[in-house]
């Protein structure tokens, strides 16, 4: 960061953060804040500063205490406690997202293209919601399907129409992580696989699911790290974007 940009910081912010104000110019999206490990005061200071320069600001893994601190200075901030995602959206009314639940936010049908986020079980839902909201905030139209894991194969097959209408699928699963392989064998679009830390002892905190996905015999599967719903949402949006971007 240049000396000129450093001078824009308040003294308190400069003690713990060096924000990347040019991220959106390079990458098409502003810097996203990883909230885990930061104090509520730090998150409030960072999001306040970022929101002065960007219409949309996103913080993942934010605690309820951090959300309260941010909302005290940015009342328009939205917090989805189920997936610990905190965001400010100051875009025009036809683009703006708001709400306190993923279902409420996605129901608005904002965005373009078609990203489909699926999770194997209800316990995987927080990671799936993180992926879905990330892609939606970035401008993709997103649908979320929950609890369609392979233990009841009929639950997956019941959604063939939605699966085959998507431009990209995010498949979130713990345990043995088999859902992405199943879905990739049914569609001709990319599948972004997200292993979760859900599972019994031999799941090794998601390692079993991660290795299973990396060893998938189905074509078109790419894998992100354990519980990385945010990363999957970004990838899905970037795959989806060429359908409608200039």
**pLDDT, tens digit (0-9, with 9 covering 90-100), for 20-72:** 888 888 888 889 999 999 999 999 999 999 999 999 999 999 999 999 999 99
| CB 164, CB 114: distance < 8 Å | no
Number of domains in the chain: 2
Where does a domain end: 46, 75, 100? 100
DSSP strands (E only) in 85-229:
85-89, 112-119, 140-145, 168-173, 191-195, 221-223
Where does a domain end: 50, 76, 100? 100
Q: Are residues 63 and 158 in the same domain?
A: no
Domain that includes residue 180, residue range: 105-246
Q: Are residues 123 and 230 in the same domain?
A: yes
Would you put residue 232 in left (φ > 0), alpha (ψ -120 to 50) or beta? alpha
Q: Are residues 193 and 240 in the same domain?
A: yes
CA distances from 238 to 88, 233, 242 (A): 21, 9, 7
| CB 117, CB 135: distance < 8 Å | yes
* Residue 246 predicted with pLDDT over 60: no
Q: Are residues 200 and 180 in the same domain?
A: yes
- End-to-end Cα separation, the chain, in angstroms: 30
Q: Are residues 144 and 207 in the same domain?
A: yes
- The pLDDT of residue 25 is 86
Where does a domain end: 82, 100, 118? 100
Of the candidates 114, 126, 140, 147, the one whose C-alpha atom is nearest the C-alpha of residue 197 is 126
Average confidence (pLDDT) over 86-104: 94
Is the overall model pTM greater than 0.85, yes or no? yes
Q: Are residues 184 and 73 in the same domain?
A: no
Q: Are residues 149 and 198 in the same domain?
A: yes
Q: Are residues 123 and 139 in the same domain?
A: yes
Of the candidates 226, 191, 186, the one whose C-alpha atom is nearest the C-alpha of residue 209 is 226
Of the candidates 180, 32, 209, the one whose C-alpha atom is nearest the C-alpha of residue 116 is 180
Q: Please indicate whether residue 15 or residue 142 has the higher confidence score (pLDDT).
A: 142
Q: Are residues 235 and 150 in the same domain?
A: yes
């Amino acid at each position: 960061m240049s000396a000129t940009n450093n001078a824009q910081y308040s003294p308190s912010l400069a003690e713990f953060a060096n924000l990347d104000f040019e991220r959106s110019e390079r990458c098409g999206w502003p810097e996203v804040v990883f909230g885990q490990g930061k104090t509520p005061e730090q998150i409030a200071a960072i999001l306040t500063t970022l929101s002065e320069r960007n219409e949309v600001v996103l913080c993942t893994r934010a605690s309820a205490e951090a959300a309260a601190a941010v909302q005290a200075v940015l009342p328009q901030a939205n917090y989805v406690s189920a997936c610990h995602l905190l965001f400010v959206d100051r875009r025009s009314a036809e683009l703006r997202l708001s709400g306190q639940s993923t279902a409420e936010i996605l129901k608005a049908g904002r965005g373009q293209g078609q990203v489909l986020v699926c999770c194997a079980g209800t316990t995987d839902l927080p990671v799936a919601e993180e992926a879905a909201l990330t892609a939606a905030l970035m401008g993709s139209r997103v649908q979320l399907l929950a609890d369609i894991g392979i233990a009841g194969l009929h639950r997956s097959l019941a959604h063939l129409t939605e699966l085959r209408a998507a431009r990209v699928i995010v498949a979130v699963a713990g345990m043995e992580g088999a859902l992405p392989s199943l879905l990739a064998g049914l569609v001709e679009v990319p599948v972004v696989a997200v292993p979760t830390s859900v599972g019994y002892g031999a799941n090794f905190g998601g390692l079993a699911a991660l290795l299973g996905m990396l060893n998938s015999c189905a074509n078109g599967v790419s894998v992100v790290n354990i519980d990385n719903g945010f990363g999957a949402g970004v990838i899905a949006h970037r795959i989806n974007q060429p359908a409608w971007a200039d």
